[in-house]
Chains A and B, each alone.
Chain A
Amino acid sequence: MMQLGISAFYHDSAACLVVDGEVIAAAEEERFTGIKHDDSFPVNAINFCLQEGRINLSKVKEVCWYEKPRKKEERVNNIFNKRPLRTLLLRYKAKKRFKKQNPFVILKNLGYKGRVKFIDHHRSHTNFAYYTSPYNKAAILTIDGVGEAETITISKGQGRNITKIYSVDFPHSLGMLYSTITSYLGFKPNEGEYKVMGLAPYGDPFKYLEKLYKVIDKSKSDLHLLQKYFTWEYSDKIMFNKRLCRLLELPPRLPEDTLTQEHKDLAASLQMLYEKEFLLLVKKAKGLTGSSNICIGGGCAYNGVANTLAYKYFDSVHIPFAPSDAGSAIGACLKKHTKVSPYLGPKFNNSEVKKILVQYKNRLQYFKLSEDKLINTVADILSKQKIVAWFQGRMEFGARALGNRSILASPRTPIMRERLNEVIKKREGFRPFAPSVPLDDAKLFFDIKEPIPYMTQVVKSKPSLIPSATHIDGTARVQTVTEQENPIYYKLLKEMKSFRNVPILLNTSFNLKDQTITINPKQAIDRFLSSKINFLVINNFLIKKI
């Protein structure tokens, strides 16, 4: 059966094609439009998926929509009913938007006549987290901003069955709280949370912790946020009010304001509060399910520092490669366990690449090398502290570049991090870079309990060996690589070992400031030419500027 999974109109719109339970293709819309976190209907991603499956829309038996729009509209209206006058304009805007974003109408206009199945927002997260895991029995915890109404769920997975046991509803949302403080610190919500996580180790977590805890009503057994500090229920412009400023005794930061120690302290306190609340939920999940495995989904599952804490109660932790709404396009389709690789996007063969390279012959010099020669040469280049953009095979699905659309560098010199942050990525200097390591070497350098193939956990590392891939607190968001999952990247890492005895590469996504991850060779070349990246590799081609 052909299924088309769609996630749209919230953030990170995406589509996937599933044939007889196997995920054939998937991509996020932002990669095609270049708009970060694009929330529009993913028409480009759908077209790509259909092309990849060599079918047209009429062959699709079932469209699986990642949430239930009516249920969501109901929640939104219930919120507006609390303040009918204040939300009059918002209600009008929301009604218009829900009408415009009706999946039935959009799909009908595209010529689709088949069935449309709507899956609960958190159930889509749950499905993606559990059905992509290796477990036959597990606790499943999902945490995000908000779906239809739920913000947190705990379910029990046994075989193919998933039973929801516990949930917390809007406006009591850990994700929204994290986003609120993210915006308080001058970073964009749903985008800047990574920055807050990166900033946290520079601050004193106890400085604002007590004050921050005042937004939580601790007399309640479940998470209960005091709404007097927030504007989530009546503003589409801002997330907090003056009461929160008074509580924190710190003015909100505008994006252009200097980052002060107070901001770092607030980030640290928020991260600590999140970790404590997260751990309570993990403990609850253990108590409710009794399982020794846990799957974590929802946008908050990108919080790698918190994720690692789950080992306090569970022996094994699984977090899928795209736990946020993008992955829900896949989760909405899944009904049973399926092995899904994160490499689900477009790929280009050598002759396609050559055709494009020829167009740039006045500006580029390129060499086609055998795989072994290519790996040996690139490892040599990297060991000489050069920066290489690495473009191979199918594009990754999810926020992380996992060695197919990556910028690579040696993590051995401390200045490499600053060079990459300031010269290449042009981003804040405090943000860390992640290391990739072959799974069989990982324990020599990182304190890992099990494979971490998708950079979803932050673990202790050995800073003296890899200073530019280790954060200020001695941790790293590591990616363990196996030969089965990414053979050429694995070989490159192993080759690094023969050059410098450290089989580790600093791996950051192949994009420059404010860009989405590179999708095709032309974009790769244009970005290479407009940056200070030293070499570009596309498939078997080693490319340098003239």
Chain B
Amino acid sequence: MVKKLREIIRKWQQEKVYQKKLRELKKRDPFTYKNF
């Protein structure tokens, strides 16, 4: 049970990091290959 809970917390924390990094990247100069 504790192991499962730890895993959920780890994933949740990881998601938060992804979210933060993605948000930060979107703020930068277009960080993309211009395909439009």
A residues with a Cβ closer than 8 A to B are 10-11, 39, 76, 79, 90, 93-94, 145-146, 170, 175-176, 179-180, 183, 188-190, 232, 235-239, 241-242, 245-246, 249, 251-255
Give the nearest-CB partner of A188 in chain B. Answer: B31
Q: List 24 A-B contacts (CB under 8 A).
A: A10-B34, A79-B36, A146-B35, A170-B35, A180-B33, A189-B32, A190-B33, A190-B34, A236-B32, A237-B25, A238-B26, A238-B31, A238-B32, A239-B31, A239-B33, A241-B22, A242-B18, A242-B19, A242-B22, A245-B18, A251-B14, A251-B17, A251-B18, A255-B28
B residues with a Cβ closer than 8 A to A are 14-15, 17-19, 21-22, 24-26, 28, 30-36
A170-B15 Cα distance, complex, nearest whole Å: 30
- Are B22 and A76 in contact, with the CB atoms below 8 A? no
**What is the CB-to-nearest-CB distance from A95 to chain B, in angstroms, rounded to a whole number?**
10
Give the nearest-CB partner of B16 in chain A. Answer: A251
Contacts of A241 on B, CB cut-off 8 Å? 22
Give the nearest-CB partner of A10 in chain B. Answer: B34
Give the nearest-CB partner of A184 in chain B. Answer: B25
Contacts of A146 on B, CB cut-off 8 Å? 35
Contacts of B15 on A, CB cut-off 8 Å? 242
- Are B36 and A189 in contact, with the CB atoms below 8 A? no
- Are A94 and B36 in contact, with the CB atoms below 8 A? yes
Contacts of B28 on A, CB cut-off 8 Å? 255
- Are B35 and A183 in contact, with the CB atoms below 8 A? no
Contacts of A246 on B, CB cut-off 8 Å? 18
Give the nearest-CB partner of A252 in chain B. Answer: B21
The contact of B22 among A39, A145, A252, by CB within 8 Å, is A252
| 6 cross-chain pairs, A with B, having the tightest CB-CB distances, nearest first | A245-B18, A179-B33, A189-B33, A252-B21, A237-B26, A251-B17
A47-B36 Cα distance, complex, nearest whole Å: 28
The contact of A254 among B19, B25, B36, by CB within 8 Å, is B25
- Are B35 and A254 in contact, with the CB atoms below 8 A? no
Contacts of B19 on A, CB cut-off 8 Å? 242
A252-B32 Cα distance, complex, nearest whole Å: 14
Contacts of A237 on B, CB cut-off 8 Å? 25-26, 30-32
**What is the CB-to-nearest-CB distance from B17 to chain A, in angstroms, rounded to a whole number?**
5
Instruction: From known contacts A236-B30, A237-B30, A251-B17, infer whether A245 and B22 are also in contact, taking CB-CB under 8 Å.
Output: yes
Contacts of B14 on A, CB cut-off 8 Å? 249, 251
Contacts of B21 on A, CB cut-off 8 Å? 245, 251-254
The contact of A189 among B18, B22, B26, B31, by CB within 8 Å, is B31
Contacts of B18 on A, CB cut-off 8 Å? 242, 245-246, 251-252
Give the nearest-CB partner of A187 in chain B. Answer: B31
- Are B22 and A176 in contact, with the CB atoms below 8 A? no
Contacts of B22 on A, CB cut-off 8 Å? 238, 241-242, 245, 252
**What is the CB-to-nearest-CB distance from A97 to chain B, in angstroms, rounded to a whole number?**
8
- Are B31 and A232 in contact, with the CB atoms below 8 A? no
The contact of A236 among B17, B24, B25, B36, by CB within 8 Å, is B36
**What is the CB-to-nearest-CB distance from A460 to chain B, in angstroms, rounded to a whole number?**
32
Contacts of A11 on B, CB cut-off 8 Å? 34
A500-B16 Cα distance, complex, nearest whole Å: 57
- Are A232 and B35 in contact, with the CB atoms below 8 A? yes
Instruction: From known contacts A242-B15, A245-B18, A246-B18, infer whether A252 and B25 are also in contact, taking CB-CB under 8 Å.
Output: yes
Instruction: From known contacts A252-B21, A252-B22, infer whether A145 and B31 are also in contact, taking CB-CB under 8 Å.
Output: no
A246-B31 Cα distance, complex, nearest whole Å: 20
Contacts of A179 on B, CB cut-off 8 Å? 32-33
**What is the CB-to-nearest-CB distance from A546 to chain B, in angstroms, rounded to a whole number?**
40
Most chain A beta-carbon contacts within 10 A, residue among B26, B30, B32, B33? B33
- Are B24 and A254 in contact, with the CB atoms below 8 A? yes
- Are A183 and B32 in contact, with the CB atoms below 8 A? yes
- Are A238 and B25 in contact, with the CB atoms below 8 A? yes
A176-B15 Cα distance, complex, nearest whole Å: 25
**What is the CB-to-nearest-CB distance from B7 to chain A, in angstroms, rounded to a whole number?**
13
A249-B36 Cα distance, complex, nearest whole Å: 29
Q: Apart from A79-B36, A254-B24, list 18 A-B contacts with CB within 8 A.
A: A76-B36, A90-B36, A175-B33, A183-B33, A189-B31, A189-B32, A190-B33, A232-B33, A237-B30, A237-B32, A238-B26, A239-B31, A245-B22, A251-B14, A252-B21, A252-B25, A254-B21, A254-B25
Instruction: From known contacts A241-B22, A246-B18, A254-B24, infer whether A235 and B35 are also in contact, taking CB-CB under 8 Å.
Output: no
A93-B14 Cα distance, complex, nearest whole Å: 34
Give the nearest-CB partner of A241 in chain B. Answer: B22
Contacts of A252 on B, CB cut-off 8 Å? 18, 21-22, 25
Give the nearest-CB partner of B23 in chain A. Answer: A238
